[in-house]
């Protein structure tokens, strides 16, 4: 739940957009009982692309808590986590989050709808949702433990939702929430960078041409940082267009040696992981507060392999030991994760409407082409996001 102050602030912003008075607190209204099913793409088991199944009989979402809203999905988009979840990645931790007290009579998450991003229109509001009303155009990133957005409707907590940027279509807007909030978590919440302290800082982004990378480049440039982007040669034009100061082709030679020829960095965002972690921290300025943040962590893998208790213990030991090890070397080591947040999306929307951040879309698919969209994403080397036009007629 949002604090009363935060909720009031968002209510006033919503009223300003509508050009009227702050909306009154809306009463709890049940979803229409005449509508009990909806079209959706689901999986009934984990596996490869053939597990995706289209159905017109997915249970229609209902409001269970007073802070929830139901959104009619106009557009969605895919992220690498959708590929991973399709194959069962993180199932142990996510199932614990879905039912921590084991109260559900059915011990299965299926049928499961994938998709995290949504841009659409509010259809229903819960009792405590005073800052949205039916008809509002909104966007959100739905947490992975909830039913996803590859459906006609989706339910979300009000504090996960924000007003869609006015300058974007739904198709454009759907490309940003998940990657934007992931980058925001890494750069701002974990890395501590913001508009007031970022000017002139040297930032390195490893894996800059994907969804998170293209957003991070634009965010950091908007805040005044000097950005070095690492990507393949065919993405260099895109990186320059987004504002990157230096672009390094990781295929043109030994990447570590190429980066060592540059001045040291104040901040590194790692979207790649693997062997890069072994040498990337040596590129940071020592004893200056410089920080390395990685989005590639073993947290969910540990829980899948070792179970909840042992997986969390192993994760704690791993991150703790690495943090201390690098602290003694004069740099900060951190992990970052996607964090759902309507208030953060409010700030991102302001940056979008001011022209400082633009969506980067690789390809748009119709709702009937969801399996093709997954195959496209699975092929790798995307230049931006894979978007699903849910309400299109194609």
Give the count of beta carbons closer than 10 Å to the beta carbon of residue 102.
8
Helix (H, G, I), strand (E, B) or coil at 184: helix
pLDDT tier at 294 (50, 70, 90 boundaries)?
very high
Q: pLDDT, tens digit, for every residue of 45-84?
A: 999 999 999 999 999 999 999 999 999 999 999 999 999 9
Residues in the chain: 394
Say whether pLDDT at 91 is over 60: yes
Say whether pLDDT at 24 is over 50: no
DSSP state string for 308-322: HHHHHHHHHHHHHHH
CA distance 70 to 53: 23
Mean pLDDT of 100-113: 79
Mean pLDDT of 212-233: 97
CA distance 335 to 294: 5
> 61 to each of 32, 34, 37, 71, 136, how far by Cα in Å?
10, 13, 9, 10, 18
Provide the 8-state DSSP code for 26.
P
CA distance 393 to 152: 13
Asked if residues 278 and 316 have their Cβ atoms less than 8 Å apart, the reply is no
In this prediction, residue 103 carries a pLDDT of: 72
In this prediction, residue 142 carries a pLDDT of: 98
Cα angle: 368, vertex 373, 376; to 5 degrees: 150
Q: Strand (E) positions, 174-222? A: 202-206
Helix (H) or strand (E) holding 342: helix 342-353
Which of 20-34, 112-126, 191-205 shows the lowest per-residue confidence on average (mean pLDDT)? 20-34
In this prediction, residue 25 carries a pLDDT of: 43
Asked if residues 206 and 270 have their Cβ atoms less than 8 Å apart, the reply is yes
In this prediction, residue 9 carries a pLDDT of: 53
Phi-psi map region of 274: left, alpha, beta (phi>0 left; psi -120 to 50 alpha): left
Mean pLDDT taken over the chain: 91
The dihedral through the CA atoms of 113, 114, 120, 126 has a sign that is positive
Closest CA to 254 of 275, 223, 225: 275
Mean pLDDT of 197-207: 97
Say whether pLDDT at 5 is over 60: no
């Amino acid at each position: 739940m949002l604090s009363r102050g935060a909720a009031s602030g968002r209510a006033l912003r919503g009223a300003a957009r509508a050009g009227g008075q702050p909306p009154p607190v809306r009463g709890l209204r049940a979803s229409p009982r005449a509508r009990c099913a909806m079209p959706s793409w689901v999986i009934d088991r984990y596996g490869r692309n053939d597990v995706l199944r289209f159905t017109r009989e997915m249970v229609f979402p209902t409001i269970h808590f007073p802070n929830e809203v139901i959104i009619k999905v106009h557009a969605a988009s895919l992220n690498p986590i959708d590929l991973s979840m399709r194959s069962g990645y993180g199932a142990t931790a996510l199932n614990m989050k879905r039912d921590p007290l084991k109260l559900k009579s059915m011990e299965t998450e299926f049928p499961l709808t994938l998709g995290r991003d949504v841009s659409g229109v509010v259809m229903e509001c819960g009792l405590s949702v005073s800052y949205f009303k039916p008809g509002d155009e909104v966007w959100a990133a739905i947490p992975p433990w909830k039913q996803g957005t590859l459906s006609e409707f989706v339910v979300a907590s009000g504090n996960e939702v924000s007003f869609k940027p006015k300058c974007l279509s739904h198709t454009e807007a759907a490309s940003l929430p998940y990657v934007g909030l992931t980058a925001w978590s890494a750069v701002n919440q974990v890395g501590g960078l913001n508009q007031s302290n970022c000017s002139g800082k040297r930032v390195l982004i490893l894996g800059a041409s994907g969804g998170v990378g293209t957003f991070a480049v634009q965010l950091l440039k908007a805040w005044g940082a000097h950005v070095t982007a690492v990507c393949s040669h065919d993405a260099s034009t895109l990186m320059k267009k987004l504002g990157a100061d230096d672009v390094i082709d990781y295929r043109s030679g030994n990447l570590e040696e190429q980066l060592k020829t540059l001045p040291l960095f104040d901040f590194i965002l790692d979207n790649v992981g693997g062997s890069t972690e072994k040498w990337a921290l040596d590129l940071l300025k020592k004893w200056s507060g410089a920080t390395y943040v990685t989005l590639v962590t073993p947290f969910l893998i540990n829980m899948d392999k070792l179970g909840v208790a042992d997986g969390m213990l192993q994760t704690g030991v791993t991150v703790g030991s690495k943090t201390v090890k690098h602290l003694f070397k004069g740099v900060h080591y951190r992990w970052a994760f996607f964090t759902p947040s309507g208030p953060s999306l409010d700030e991102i929307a302001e940056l979008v409407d001011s022209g400082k951040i633009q969506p980067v879309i690789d390809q748009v698919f119709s709702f009937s082409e969801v399996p093709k969209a997954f195959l496209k994403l699975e092929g790798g080397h995307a230049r931006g996001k894979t978007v699903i036009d849910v309400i299109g007629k194609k």
